[in-house]
Structure 1
Amino acid sequence: MEKILSHKNDTIRTSLCQLNGDLAQEAVQSFRNITGYMGDRSTTKGAVDHSLKLLNNMLLAPEDLRDEVYCQIIKQTTKNPSVDSNIKGWELLAILAGSFPPGEELKPYVMHHCAAEHGRRHSNPKVRDYAVYVLHRIKKVCRLGPRREIPTPVEIEATRRLLPLNVRVSFLDDRYITLPVDSWSTAKELEGRCAKMLGIKDGTPFALYEVSTEEEERVLEPEERILDLVAYWTRLETDERTRKGKMANIEEFRFVYKVRLFLDVPDDDVAGVHLMYIQATHDVVDARYPCTDNDSITLAALQVQEEHGDYPGPLGPNPLTGKVSKYIAKKYLEEKGEDVLEDSITKLYQKLTGYSKREARLSYLDYVKAWKIYGSAYFFAEPQSNREFPSAVVLAINSKGILVVDPDTKDYLAEYTYNNVVTWGHSQNSFVVVTGNITRRVKVYFRTEQGKEMNSIVRAYVEKLMARSEAGDT
Structure 2
Amino acid sequence: QSSVPSLTSEPDSIMLVPAGDHYTMMDFATAYFREAWPTQGLKGTSAEKKSEMDLVRHTKVPIQESLLWYSDSELNELATKNFKTLMRFMGDESKLKNQSEVECIYEILQLCKEKESLHDEVYCQVIKQVTYNPNQESVLRGWLLLYLLTGYFLPSNILMPYATKFLQLASSDPSSTHQDIAKSCQSNLRKSFLYGGRRHLPWPVQIEALLKGHGARRLVILMPGGIEYLTRIKTFTVAKELLQEMCEQMGAGEQKEIEDFVLFAIRHKMVRPIRSEEYLHDYLLEDKLVTVTLRRLIWRTSLHFENKIYTDVHYGQMRWDYLNGRILLSHSKEMEMQVGILAMLQHWAKREQQNSAPSREELKEYTPKTLQSSISPQALQNHVGMLLKTRQPLQPVDAKIQFMEHVMKLPFFGYNTYFVEKVSDNTIPVPCFFGVNEEEIIVVDGTTQTISRIIPLEELQMMRTLRPVSDGGLPGIELNYGSAASPKAMWLELSQAKEMYHTIVVILDKTDLHH
TM-score w.r.t. length of structure 1: 0.73
Does the C-alpha gap of structure 1 residues 308 and 334 become closer, same or farther in structure 2, counting only changes over 3 Å? farther
Q: Is the CA contact 1:301–1:345 (under 8 Å) kept in the aligned structure 2? A: no
Aligned residue number for residue 447 of structure 1: 491
Quote how far apart the aligned CAs of 1:403 are: 4.1
Aligned residue number for residue 138 of structure 2: 85
Quote how far apart the aligned CAs of 1:306 are: 0.7
Residue 168 (1) aligns with residue 220 (2): yes
String of CA shifts for 1:62-114, please: whole Å, max 9, x gaps. 23x12221122122223322222122222222222222122222234434444
Greater mean alpha carbon deviation, residues 184-193 or residues 95-104 = 184-193
Quote how far apart the aligned CAs of 1:207 are: 1.9
Amino acid at match of 1:187: A
Aligned residue number for residue 37 of structure 2: none
TM-score w.r.t. length of structure 2: 0.68
Residue 105 (1) aligns with residue 158 (2): yes
1:148 counterpart (199, 207, 211): 199
Residue aligned with 1:365, SS? helix
Amino acid at match of 1:446: M
Q: Is the CA contact 1:396–1:405 (under 8 Å) kept in the aligned structure 2? A: yes
Aligned residue number for residue 372 of structure 1: 411
Q: How does 1:33-112 map to 2 (within 5 A)?
A: 33-43=85-95, 44-63=98-117, 65-112=118-165
Distance 2:110 2:156 in 1: 19
Distance 1:455 1:95 in 2: 29
String of CA shifts for 1:164-189, please: whole Å, max 9, x gaps. 55543321223221345445543333
Residue aligned with 1:59, SS? helix
Amino acid at match of 2:415: S
String of CA shifts for 1:255-289, please: whole Å, max 9, x gaps. 32212123463444545554332221111221233
Residue aligned with 1:427, SS? strand
String of CA shifts for 1:406-430, please: whole Å, max 9, x gaps. 33x25315365x9xx7963231231
Does the C-alpha gap of structure 1 residues 68 and 305 become closer, same or farther in structure 2, counting only changes over 3 Å? same
1:301 counterpart (328, 333, 344): 344
Aligned residue number for residue 192 of structure 1: 244
Residue 261 (1) aligns with residue 295 (2): no
Amino acid at match of 1:148: R
Aligned residue number for residue 282 of structure 2: 228
Distance 2:239 2:411 in 1: 31
Amino acid at match of 2:119: R
Amino acid at match of 2:414: G
Aligned residue number for residue 450 of structure 2: 412
Aligned residue number for residue 28 of structure 1: 80
Does the C-alpha gap of structure 1 residues 5 and 200 become closer, same or farther in structure 2, counting only changes over 3 Å? closer
* Structure 1 portions without partners, runs of 5+: 239-251, 435-440, 464-474
Does the C-alpha gap of structure 1 residues 141 and 370 become closer, same or farther in structure 2, counting only changes over 3 Å? closer
* RMSD, aligned CA: 4.3
Distance 2:438 2:170 in 1: 56
Residue aligned with 2:353, SS? coil
Residue 280 (1) aligns with residue 318 (2): yes
Aligned residue number for residue 206 of structure 1: 260
Q: Is the CA contact 1:303–1:361 (under 8 Å) kept in the aligned structure 2? A: yes
Residue aligned with 2:417, SS? strand
Residue 354 (1) aligns with residue 393 (2): yes
Aligned residue number for residue 430 of structure 1: 479
Residue 219 (1) aligns with residue 273 (2): yes
Residue aligned with 2:114, SS? coil
Distance 1:144 1:309 in 2: 49
Quote how far apart the aligned CAs of 1:432 are: 3.5
Residue aligned with 2:295, SS? strand
Distance 1:446 1:269 in 2: 44
Q: Is the CA contact 1:405–1:412 (under 8 Å) kept in the aligned structure 2? A: yes
Q: Is the CA contact 1:204–1:261 (under 8 Å) kept in the aligned structure 2? A: no
Does the C-alpha gap of structure 1 residues 345 and 287 become closer, same or farther in structure 2, counting only changes over 3 Å? farther
Amino acid at match of 2:228: Y
Does the C-alpha gap of structure 1 residues 347 and 35 become closer, same or farther in structure 2, counting only changes over 3 Å? farther
String of CA shifts for 1:329-362, please: whole Å, max 9, x gaps. 456667889x979966984785566211232112
String of CA shifts for 1:348-377, please: whole Å, max 9, x gaps. 785566211232112212332332222222
Does the C-alpha gap of structure 1 residues 415 and 451 become closer, same or farther in structure 2, counting only changes over 3 Å? same
Q: Is the CA contact 1:305–1:357 (under 8 Å) kept in the aligned structure 2? A: yes
Residue 8 (1) aligns with residue 43 (2): no
Aligned residue number for residue 42 of structure 2: none
Distance 1:459 1:16 in 2: 41
Quote how far apart the aligned CAs of 1:208 are: 1.4
Residue aligned with 2:86, SS? helix
